[in-house]
Structure 1
Amino acid sequence: MVSDRNDDGDTLQLDVLDLFDAWPETSLRLVLDCVAADDAMTRSVGLWGVSIIDFGGTKYFGPIAAAASDPEPRVRADVMSTLGTIFGTGDPSRALAILIAGTVDAAPEVRSAAVAALQSSPDDMVTDVLVARADDVDPRVRYWAAWSLARRPVCEARAALERLATDENADVRDAAGKVLGLPTSSL
């Protein structure tokens, strides 16, 4: 999985899931070994495995949370994506704190993954975080800020979306326009 996490139709992942079912104890040991590996891609695969084996994040939330400070941005971005799933419910307040911290990470891929993961958070303080990310220097972060601000009734969210609808980046403008319900011709 380190060399090909998305092979033809994700059959490799399905095969690995079958192995997890057949040998749960061995799978857990190997996945935790991957989380502790020197290679960043191996760590990412290990984090994916932990999130599958501990679907709700109730037993192994710690290794995922610890990886939020991994030196490799790709691994930190994977953590943000994982915490935005059902896995984050294993410790919701800690997951939210990690995601909010991820929105100001030095690496744009981590910020964009954190902003995307916050999309489903009902927490009111998240709106302020997303509004702040609407001014991020990276267009991918602004793009996800637009989508994540959808369905937030706060007037600050609307003002940020209106700014994003005039963004210099076409993808950001399009996302904000769709969230605001603007006709395609005006984008």
Structure 2
Amino acid sequence: MRALPFRGVATIGTLAFRVLRRRHQRTANVYLAARTLEALLLALAPVGILTLTLLTQGSAETPNAADSALQNVARTAVENSQSAHWLAMATLGVGSIFFYRALMRSALLPRFLTVWGMLGYAIFALGSVLELAGYEVGLALSAPGGLFEVAAGSYLLVKGFGASLPKIVADADPSAGSAPVGFTTSHATT
């Protein structure tokens, strides 16, 4: 069950990359890298627990130095899972600032939503860094970003992407066989 979040994070990064790559290649690369790093950091604790479990079951008969070293690494990953989590959240926050800036420049979402997203994720990144420094404010400082996610998700469910959609669909590579992920040609006018 703990494996699902980091798989979802990696999938979001890949889908966002596909949406942004034609208009904002650098931002698409940065966001994909941020989401990949976030997924790897979130995977540390579950992989550590799995490794410890497998080593404990297998080494009952024949303990060796390699298993002991691997157990130490896995134990360290599990013990530092809270720090890895907040480092992953800081990475998400910083990467998302660039992502929503690109969405603002492309007019894919209304300006007020993209500015809210950039500010919300900046506050979220700050809260994550403060958590790493020992101040327990990360959860409280995630509220603006969390509220933004609900608002932006609701907006996209009701309205879809913005007015620049026809231009982006028109610029899509016709040899690709389909419009970029998240876009439909039903909004395009000829």
Q: Same fold (TM over 0.5)?
A: no
TM-score scaled by length of structure 2: 0.26
TM-score scaled by length of structure 1: 0.26
Greater relative contact order (CA < 8 Å, ≥ 6 in sequence): 2
Larger Rg: 2
